[in-house]
């Protein structure tokens, strides 16, 4: 691969960002005033948080944006030392050109330790005359309240299917690809509202063929077909435990899925089953228990087979 398409096709302007119109309009309004508060971007991955910060810097500073924009990833350096050294050193210097302030973009800020966040709060307060902070996180609840109260909060939502489909179509035209209708359906299923995941899946598929089909996308993205997962659930709920176990083996081997991957897909497909709602509640409750055990380090094969066994018991009660 010559370039990562997620970077290659990253929008450079705020009005080019897909699916976050309300947020980009607010940011453009800030640019028109020539001033910014501290900002907090919160939302799922692949929804445009980093892109919005970079596009904001491009439009705000123009040609000197690199000199006035500093990006750090808090998951790499999450301790109090980075706040007291790198961040503080950049924040205390004057901006380049005629700008009023610099911007520090702190990606994955929810990975900062509480001590580092406390130090960051003081730095934000002390150097607000020469620096503005943009904090990006998946979970705003992990950011301490004193920082949240100092920021204008922007909540990004998962992208709609139509927005992702339209953008994938634009990339396909530029790359000379043909995406079949089944391919679009698979692409949207794989992405689940995450534009970065959709672009990466499309790029991997393009290595295999210029015609992007559902079969190529499912195999290249290590995602089981929805109908295969539905078949697994159907076998379990009709008390065919051994056949369901064999089908589970096929999913693990053919698609190279991990236990957590299968759990996520099972959870997604449970809601499409034609069973009473109270039964779905019981199944989802057990899925949550198994997912927790996997995260804690339990044996994934034993836990997945235990989940199938629970589905068999629930299916026998339904009969």
- Using CA atoms, how far residue 241 sits from 236, 269, 316, in Å, is 6, 18, 11
Q: Which residues contact 114 (CB under 8 A, 6 or more apart)?
A: 144
The pLDDT score that the predictor gives to residue 1 is 45
How confident is the model over 207-252, as pLDDT tens digits?
888 999 999 998 888 888 999 999 999 999 998 999 999 999 888 8
Q: Output the pLDDT for position 110.
A: 87
Q: Who wins on pLDDT, 110 or 88?
A: 110
Q: Which domains does the chain have, with CATH numbers?
A: 5-155 (3.40.50.300), 161-220 (1.10.8.60), 226-318 (1.20.272.10)
Does residue 93 surpass a pLDDT of 50?
A: yes
- Give percent of the chain with pLDDT exceeding 70: 95
What are the pLDDT digits (tens) for 264-319? 999 999 999 999 999 999 999 999 999 999 999 999 999 999 999 999 999 998 87
The tokens for 278 are 């109270």
Alpha-carbon separation of residue 33 from 29, 68, 152 (angstroms): 7, 18, 15
- Does residue 86 carry a pLDDT above 90? no
Q: pLDDT band at 256, cuts 50/70/90? A: confident
Compute the mean pLDDT over every residue in the chain, rounded to the nearest whole number.
89
pLDDT value of position 81: 67
For the ranges 59-73, 107-121, 292-306, the maximum mean pLDDT occurs at 292-306
Span of 1-10, 222-231, 258-267 with lowest mean pLDDT: 1-10
Cβ-proximal residues to 71 (8 Å cutoff; 6+ apart), any chain: 53, 104, 105, 107
pLDDT at 317: 86
Write the DSSP assignment of the chain as a string of letters. Answer: --S-HHHHT--SSGGG-SS-HHHHHHHHHHHHHT---EEEEE--TTSSHHHHHHHHHHHHHGGGHHHHEEEEETTTS-SHHHIIIIIHHHHHSPPSTT-S-EEEEEETGGGS-HHHHHHHHHHHHHTTTTEEEEEEES-GGGS-HHHHTTEEEEE--PPPHHHHHHHHHHHHHHHT-EE-HHHHHHHHHHHTT-HHHHHHHHHHHHHH-SEE-HHHHHHHTT---HHHHHHHHHHHHTT-HHHHHHHHHHHHHHS---HHHHHHHHHHHHTTSSS-HHHHHHHHHHHHHHHHHHHTT--HHHHHHHHHHHHHHHHHHH-
Comparison of pLDDT for 13 and 1, the residue scoring more: 13
From CA 183, how far away is CA 165, in angstroms rounded? 10
Q: Is the pLDDT of residue 64 over 90?
A: no
pTM, two decimals, is 0.84
Task: With a cut of 80, say whether residue 74 has pLDDT above it.
Answer: no
């Amino acid at each position: 691969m010559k370039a990562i398409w997620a970077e290659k096709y990253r929008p450079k302007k705020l009005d080019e960002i897909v699916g976050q119109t309300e947020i980009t309009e607010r940011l453009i309004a800030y640019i028109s005033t020539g001033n910014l508060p501290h900002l907090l971007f919160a939302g799922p991955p692949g929804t445009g948080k980093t892109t919005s910060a970079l596009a904001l810097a491009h439009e705000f500073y123009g040609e000197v944006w690199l000199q006035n924009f500093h990006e750090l990833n808090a998951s790499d350096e999450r301790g109090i030392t980075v706040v007291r050294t790198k961040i503080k050193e950049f924040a205390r210097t004057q901006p380049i050109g005629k700008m009023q302030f610099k911007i520090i973009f702190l990606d994955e800020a929810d990975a900062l330790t509480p001590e580092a966040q406390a130090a960051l709060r003081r730095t934000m307060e002390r150097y607000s005359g020469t620096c503005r902070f943009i904090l990006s996180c998946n979970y705003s609840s992990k950011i301490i309240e004193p920082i949240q109260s100092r920021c204008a909060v922007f909540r990004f939502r998962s992208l709609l299917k139509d927005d992702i489909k339209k953008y994938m179509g634009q990339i396909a035209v530029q790359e000379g690809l043909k995406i079949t209708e089944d391919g679009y359906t698979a692409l949207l299923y794989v992405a689940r509202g995450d534009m970065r995941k959709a672009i990466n899946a499309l790029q991997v598929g393009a290595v295999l063929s210029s015609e992007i089909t559902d079969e190529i996308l499912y195999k290249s993205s290590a995602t089981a077909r929805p109908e295969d997962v539905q078949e697994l659930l159907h076998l379990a709920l009709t008390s065919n435990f051994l056949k369901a176990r064999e089908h589970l083996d096929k999913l693990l081997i053919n698609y190279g899925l991990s236990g957590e991957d299968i759990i996520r897909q099972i959870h997604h497909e449970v809601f499409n089953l034609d069973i009473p709602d109270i039964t779905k509640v019981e199944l989802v409750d057990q899925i949550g228990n198994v997912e927790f055990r996997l995260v804690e380090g339990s044996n994934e094969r034993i836990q997945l087979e235990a989940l199938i066994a629970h589905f068999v018991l629930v299916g026998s009660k339904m009969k």
